[in-house]
Structure 1
Amino acid sequence: MTAEITIRPIQAAETHSLRHQVLWPQESIEYVKLNNDDSGRHFGAFRNGKLVSVISLFIDGRVARFRKFATRPDCQGQGIGSQLLRHVLEDAREQGAQRIWCDARAVNEAFYRAFGLEPEGNRFYRGTIPYVRMAKDL
């Protein structure tokens, strides 16, 4: 039996712990806070009332960017992140965005391709981690 997933807006501060745990556990928690967090739209996926996945959406005119997409390791591969990303793509569209992009870890490129995002430009690195910009028209 799969637990029901609920997705709802959350505050930026509610994303920090999961961002830290999943994306940059070797850094301080300050490392995962964004200067423009206050201007973003933040969403959480909850299973049994517990926050298990987070994503932050930033819209600038007709272009949207999502950042700091993190799903608890024990909840990955269960479709939770996919539900959350679908929600954010639709929210960006509803907010008037015509294009969306992210800087994806290269290891996750196939995941983003499944949502129609395609690589743009060359790989780049944050520390030792390879990234690729992924984008699509909405």
Structure 2
Amino acid sequence: MSSDLTIRAIAAAETYPLRHQVLWPDESIEYIKLNQDDQGHHFGAFHNAKLVSVISLFIDGNVARFRKFATRPDCQGQGIGSQLLRHVLDVAREKGAQRIWCDARAQNENFYRAFGLEPEGNRFYRGTIPYMRMAKDL
């Protein structure tokens, strides 16, 4: 990806359109909002000043969790999400987290493994979509 990628903190509400479009397009916009959004750290990756990827980080003590990680379909496979995830791992470390985890869609397991996250526990489903918890020490 060229150097015209910017990653910065954004408001929770700025994540909603991409969360909806990429993760749950058949659900209502309310479905993609989290009760804890006001306690999270939300980040966006901007390519040519357009928001193309979002992620939300929640820290509880020394454990961090990232959620609602979404990259616009036409921008996937270009390293944008990887840069955004690396940024969030760094922020979690800076904020004192010693472990990080997520509920990953099973189809994305190899992506997360590339960052050192490993599956924990059994596969589970949200609707018809298989997920697995993945985690690593920071």
| TM-score category (smaller protein) | over 0.9
Q: What is residue 42 of structure 2 aligned with on the other side?
A: 42
| Alpha-carbon displacement from aligned partner over 1:51-72 (angstroms, at most 9, x marks no partner) | 0000000000000000000000
Partner of 1:99: 99
Deviation of residue 3 (structure 1)?
A: 5.4
* Helix, strand or coil at the partner of 2:77: coil
Q: Distance in 2 between matches of 1:2 and 1:53?
A: 15
* Deviation per residue, 1:98-134 (Å, 9 max, x gap): 0000000000000000000000000000000000000
For 2:48 and 2:3, the matched residues in 1 are separated by 7
CA–CA separation in structure 2 for the residues paired with 1:53 and 1:47: 9
Q: What's the TM-score once normalised by structure 1's chain length?
A: 0.98
Task: Give the conservation status (yes or no) of the 8 Å contact 1:44–1:51.
Answer: yes
Q: Which residue of 1 aligns with 2:125?
A: 125
Task: Work out the CA distance in 1 between the residues paired with 2:44 and 2:31.
Answer: 20
Unaligned runs of 5+ in 2: none
Where 1:26 maps in the other structure, the secondary structure is coil
> Could you tell me the TM-score, scaled by structure 2's length?
0.98
Q: Secondary structure at the match of 2:87?
A: helix
Secondary structure of the corresponding residue to residue 2 of structure 1: coil
- The residue that corresponds to 2:67 in the other structure is 67
Q: Which runs of 4+ in 1 moved over 6 A?
A: none
Specify the alignment match of 1:23 in structure 2.
23
Which amino acid in structure 2 is aligned with residue 14 of structure 1?
A: E
Q: Give the whole-Å Cα distance in 1 for the aligned partners of 2:17 and 2:32.
A: 9
User: Structure 2 CA distance, aligned partners of 1:36 and 1:9?
Assistant: 16
Q: CA RMSD in A?
A: 0.9
Give unmatched runs, 5+ long, in structure 1.
none
In 2, are the aligned partners of 1:3 and 1:48 still within 8 Å (CA)?
no
Task: Count residues with an aligned counterpart.
Answer: 138
Tell me by how many angstroms 1:4 deviates.
1.4
